[in-house]
Chains A and B, each alone.
Chain A
Amino acid sequence: MTDHVHHHAQAASGPAPKTPRYSPKEAVDFVVVGSGSAGGVVARELSMAGFKVLVLEQGPRLGPNDFVHDEIKIQQDAFLTNKFEQQPGTFRISADKKAKKMMPIVYGRAVGGGSVHFTANFWRLHPIDFKERSKIGPIAGTSFEDWPISYEDLEPYYTKVEWDIGVAGLAGASPFDPPRSKPYPMPPHPIASTGVLMEKGAKKLGWTAFPAPMAITSRPYRGRSGCAACGFCLGFGCEVGAKSSTLYTAIPDAEKTGRCEVRPDCYVRKVEVNDKGLVTGVIYFDKQKREVFQRAKAVVICANGAETPRLLLMSKSNRFPNGLANSSGVVGQNIMFNGNVIANGVFEHEVNGYKGVAVSRIIHDTYELDPGKVGFYGGGGFDFRQIFTPIVFGFAGVPPETPQWGAKFKQALAHGFTRTVNAFGHTTSLPVPTNNLTLDDEVKDAWGLPVNRLTFKEHPNDLKVYKWFADRAKDLLDAAGAQTSWAFPTPTGDEEQTGGQVHLLGTCRMGNDPATSVIDRNHRAHDVPNLFMVDGSSMVTGGRGQPTMTIMAMAFRAGDLIAQAAKRGEIPSAG
């Protein structure tokens, strides 16, 4: 046993090596907690760099044979996500209120994490996202900050996501595209009726609709088939392996090294440290709810922006009484969800937005709005799609003045399903320190662990952003020729209910100052030299929606930097 993480000889070329089965008593080089967009990629990079990697995933390992277009299984049974009966949460609007049990947070709970069921919009952040605080200045009531890294630091890794994971798009099509070192590896998906309508609306408003970058194969790619255009992306697993989830990309690559074991149905409840403050391993519940202590030389937590801070807060010890890696008190703070607003339009002819990938055209003219002109800080982009599967359409799809039952309701369903377009606005949302996740000791999950308690109130600036984008989304539909259009109401800032937040960002932010951030610019915990956090929690600002591309790019970068540090002997281990 050594006192540093070391790397191992590369496997010789030849038949695919056997997937290892590590003993809990063996200190693997890295335990990676979570197998989603971050964990899958980190496991790939570390195992390909020669390290022994064990991935622990809460959820089951599923495959194409498990994925069906069954709305009940997805919506009611929460087949691919955390279930209310097992892992609820609680919510309150401010710390002086008692939190109520509900489902504030939804996350992917299967090997591949949220990337199994995501829509696959893969926008890069723009250079401005990393240094906007310097440009705009402080905003009262927020912890708005620049990132400690720049777009240029991340660019090579965005390119790696596009090529190693697989993103279809058209370089140069957007006048607002950030600089890139390579074009996309695959052409964009065919333009759908939603895209044609968006082009029409954009033209009238003086904007540019351009081919959407999507993490879905538009032709056979790296051993995977091209997309069958079945249309069941959001919420569903891909039955042909065309969606570039880590389940179909990074994880198989990691397993091919012969050094990576993916252990599903393993729910980590604590990261253990020794009296020197070094991580020694993790305690998890296996499928039979038996506790197992797995030794590790280093741990990388990639459990998502809600589960990562929760695990740190549950990993209290005498040495770390406020939770592991939380000397700053910032763990769990600054949670951001991205603004997400929707307007709806019914068109004369059939759109059939339920076919094909969700999005074929997007608009970025509004990425960075001028606060002097609009009266608030913020920005974002638009897409057109039809998000409603048949049952959901019945609940939410018809125009607001339509009767909710009877012959007219039925007529509206029959007319609208194939003709309705949802115009989405994806926007900034500010980091607010009092918007946070803490442990709720009064509500336990099915394993007896405290659930996440979300305390959250929209910042007044963001309410203006959401309203502006909802209004413009409706304008776009009208300009595209919608016969009827309406926007869903935007938040008012005093909601006592919440549910289903999915973009989980900012809760273990990176920064140069250990007093105000949890990890350094290389994703290492300021407080614990052999502990790393990589996922949406690392983000300092939330971008303009669509964070998964950035989470994967950060994971490629973190994997690279962690491997380099380990090879240089710069990651001490408990031995």
Chain B
Amino acid sequence: MSDGYVSRRAFMAAAAGAGGAFLVAGWPEAAAAAERARDRAEHAGKARYKVLTTAEADDIIALTSTIMPSDGTPGAKEAGVVFFVDQSLATTSKDMRKPLQAMLADVNAQVAKAWPGQSHASGLSDQMRIELMTWIEKEKPQHFGMLKGLTLAGMFAMPSRGGNRDKAGWKLIGFKDQFSWKAPYGWYDGEGAK
């Protein structure tokens, strides 16, 4: 079950019980617990990818976590962007596998050219990856667009899409996936209006 689905269903059930009146509720704890259990189960598995090879996955982790680094807060790696990519390739975006492989081949060709002895983005240091991404952004805008798109979608799409693990992306930007809100919504119509 996707979390959005669970929470929406929970909302609908509660709304029906309340006779369709306004409902202001956070996440039902049971649903959240079920999700945590699902996450643990998936993380425990060895065969982690449905479509990607380990080498492809490692490169994707290296590249997407250069776009969204793991600094004080979770980045693409912790949010599981690679799992979003893998799940998309297995389901909604099967036709993206070849373009993705072509992009990785191009990028890794540059890796080999710029750092003799290296053959994969995943083998580079943080500083080298920053140099690599600078090159990609400037010289290969299409590849950059693909990588950035995957990173953003993997960070911020619903966790049911495979990424945004533990809602790391949403927590980062302060988005809360409640299905009902009551004003005040922000500082200016709340504290600031007093």
Contacts and interface: CB of A to CB of B under 8 A. Distances in A.
Interface of A: 64-65, 68-72, 76-77, 190-193, 195-197, 220, 224-226, 228-231, 239-240, 347, 349-356, 390-391, 393-395, 404-407, 409-410, 413-414, 416-418
A393 B157 contact: no
Contact of B155 (A70, A239, A394): A394
A352 B192 contact: no
Contacts of B139: none
Centre residue among A71, A355, A405 by max chain B CB count within 10 A: A405
A391 B130 contact: no
Given A196-B188, A417-B173, 18 more contacts: A71-B156, A72-B157, A77-B92, A191-B189, A193-B187, A228-B23, A228-B181, A229-B180, A347-B188, A352-B186, A353-B185, A355-B181, A391-B157, A405-B67, A405-B133, A410-B69, A414-B73, A414-B174
Interface string B176-193: 011111111111111111
Contacts of A228: 11, 15, 22-23, 179-181
A390 B68 CA distance: 14
B21 to A, nearest CB: 7
Contact of B188 (A72, A193, A356, A416): A193
A354 B133 contact: no
A195 B175 CA distance: 20
A192 B137 contact: no
A229 B183 contact: yes
B1 to A, nearest CB: 11
A285 to B, nearest CB: 25
A355 B88 CA distance: 28
B80 interface: no
Contact of B169 (A64, A65, A390): A390
B161 A230 contact: no
Contacts of B187: 193, 349-351
Contact of A192 (B2, B149, B183): B183
Nearest to B173: A417
Centre residue among B4, B11, B22 by max chain A CB count within 10 A: B22
B45 interface: no
Contacts of A193: 184-190, 192
Given A71-B156, A410-B71, A349 B181 contact: no
Contact of B186 (A353, A405, A413): A353
B5 interface: yes
B51 interface: no
Contact of A76 (B92, B172, B190): B92
B124 interface: no
A70 to B, nearest CB: 5
Nearest to A219: B22
Nearest to B158: A70
A191 B183 contact: yes
A226 B169 CA distance: 30
A196 B151 CA distance: 34
A224 B20 CA distance: 8
Contacts of B156: 71, 390-391, 393-394
Interface in B40-79: 66-69, 71, 73, 75
B15 A406 contact: no
B188 A349 contact: yes
Given A239-B8, A414-B174, A355 B68 contact: no
B22 A226 contact: yes
B170 interface: yes
A240 B15 contact: yes
B89 interface: no
A69 B186 contact: no
Nearest to A395: B152
B181 A231 contact: yes
B90 interface: no
Contacts of A69: 4, 8, 158, 177, 179
Contacts of A197: 188
A351 B5 contact: no
A479 to B, nearest CB: 14
Contact of A391 (B153, B177, B185, B186): B153
A410 B2 CA distance: 26
Given A228-B179, A350-B187, A356-B183, A405 B66 contact: yes
B102 interface: no
Contacts of B155: 390, 394
A196 B67 CA distance: 35
5 contacts: A68-B4, A191-B189, A220-B21, A355-B186, A418-B186
